[in-house]
Structure 1
């Protein structure tokens, strides 16, 4: 059997009622439709699954009239089982299709309990499914952006087949992705950020939004160089991952935090022992509120906040277009003298 998404969806559609009885057991049949609350198997009546093909479309297609969501039976398997990556969805679909005929209302008791969509547990599962960065497409992508990080950066991983769904059309594709863990200062993963990549190695995937986050982000960040429980007297923080990774490329001894947005930056939690905080600004004014609020909170906590400004649009632009040497020299003029001697010994 072909492993493609379209072929799996078609095969599942041939057994649409059996699929619904297995994965949407809180619903019931009504005419040519299976009626249930939503794609996550909630009790209710707003979601309709077409059980036999007709003039309106093929069997297995569904729509949730309350939320506007729609899709096929692969989406049903993904959401009802709490799966994240397509490989696991496809494996579950193949398992189901290999059965001679599922008995009504019987579920697979060995299935792993579902993780709530977008939850910290879902983030931790996806991170655990990913592989170390070394030698992967994600490492090559970062190198192409001029970003060279210390070996074994624990917050970063790679997934060769991460599930991406277009929020407008509902269509799904499977693409490799750079996975960056979002965690608290205690090191516990609370979320993550996915950057989908072009399999040909030309950069980010050609998607409307090739970078998405999930989980609990507020107060947390993508931490690079943080040792949980160890005092962090000097650190840097900013919005974007690539901005902060660029700073760490030229200052590998500096712990940095990428908060993923201006609002999340303003609420960033400070690690123990922090005395000096460098806040990375972009050339535009979009993140000014986050910088000002974080500076205010730092001052209230007795932390000296200093702003680092790029020459170009952001620090990754500086790194790629001006080079690490010029970026280090530019930063040396903005750092406190003691920090410049420690963080930029060759500057």
Structure 2
């Protein structure tokens, strides 16, 4: 028996139902599948885990129909236990399988220092730990990545961090590696970090890393968002919201005093919690129709709360495309016709 990720995943698959009962306890068995809300053990039925190997694939593989996420049981252990490093995931798998753990390899610590305990179950704790382990983006590859996309934000934007060696695991091959990553905090309206989004970067500085999925989220995302320019507890009479981080960061560049929130996906956009006192909500759309249901649902919820919802549409694929290819001035002029005149005067640069 080796300690490789693929072998550990296979061994866990041999005990798929037992793994699900332990780590996805809010679900239930339905035929040859375990049904649950998501990989973080939320109640629901959108995620199903294959319990027996069949012509459709090996036991232990899972798909979340609501988010299109997929993976194996190592991902279940990582997300449900709030683990960050692959070594922690592998140790948890060996513990469950009653396998001997490898000798500990702990870095030296100053005399008298106390080691931080493992993250408690629930990925929000893991998100907070990873964010705390990261550093401000000033002077880092993350700042360079954003600048190359035309995104120049205030250094006081505390939602963004950089991690020089963030763990990444290929969901198909099981191979693991560490890469630099932009870390964006997902927070609740009171400013508490509930999750985060990791964007792995090419170490050469040429954009995102060449990965099948260089962007992944972690933690409690529903209702929360990547907030830029929002002070917890402060009134937010006017705001903008959208699906992608780069899209909303681009709008923040053009309208630096407007609070914006990136919900990380269309489903999460539909469930974004709006701050008390909000009167107008601008929802950023992409040129395609993939996120239309999120926009429609959020607009409906806003209307039911007495909030005027208006959709902002880009000229190109999204607002980051507009910012990069058309420039700040042309994007501002394009937005001026879509904003309420009062908001155009307040948030857009003069001229």
TM-score by length of 2: 0.72
Deviations 1:9-29 (A, max 9, x none): 99x89xxxxxx9xxxxxxxxx
How far residue 252 of structure 1 moved from its aligned partner, in angstroms, is 0.5
Answer yes or no: is the 8 Å Cα contact 2:82–2:125 preserved in 1. no
State the match for 1:135 in structure 2: 139
> Secondary structure of the residue that 2:117 maps to in structure 1?
coil
State the match for 1:285 in structure 2: 289
1:204 to 199, 203, 208: 208
State the match for 1:84 in structure 2: 84
**1:112–1:79 distance in 2 versus 1, CA, 3 Å:** farther
Q: For residues 1-347 of structure 1, what are the structure 2 equivalents within 5 Å?
A: 67=60, 69=72, 83-85=83-85, 96=104, 112-116=117-121, 119-347=123-351
State the match for 1:29 in structure 2: none
Tell me how far apart the structure 1 counterparts of residues 246 and 164 of structure 2 sit (CA, whole Å): 20
Deviations 1:271-290 (A, max 9, x none): 12111100101111111111
Tell me how far apart the structure 2 counterparts of residues 152 and 209 of structure 1 sit (CA, whole Å): 29
Answer yes or no: is the 8 Å Cα contact 1:133–1:152 preserved in 2. no
How far residue 333 of structure 1 moved from its aligned partner, in angstroms, is 1.2
How far residue 67 of structure 1 moved from its aligned partner, in angstroms, is 2.0
Provide the alpha-carbon RMSD of the alignment: 3.7
Tell me how far apart the structure 1 counterparts of residues 131 and 206 of structure 2 sit (CA, whole Å): 24
Tell me how far apart the structure 2 counterparts of residues 81 and 215 of structure 1 sit (CA, whole Å): 11
Aligned length, in residue pairs: 287
How far residue 261 of structure 1 moved from its aligned partner, in angstroms, is 1.0
**1:128–1:302 distance in 2 versus 1, CA, 3 Å:** same
**1:129–1:87 distance in 2 versus 1, CA, 3 Å:** farther
Deviations 1:25-74 (A, max 9, x none): xxxxxxxxxxxx669x98xxxxxxxxxxxxxxxxxxxxx98526588xxx
Deviations 1:97-126 (A, max 9, x none): 58xxxxxxxxxx966134336x11111111
State the match for 2:32 in structure 1: none
Tell me how far apart the structure 2 counterparts of residues 137 and 84 of structure 1 sit (CA, whole Å): 21
TM-score by length of 1: 0.73
**1:300–1:123 distance in 2 versus 1, CA, 3 Å:** same
Answer yes or no: is the 8 Å Cα contact 2:164–2:181 preserved in 1. yes
How far residue 78 of structure 1 moved from its aligned partner, in angstroms, is 8.1
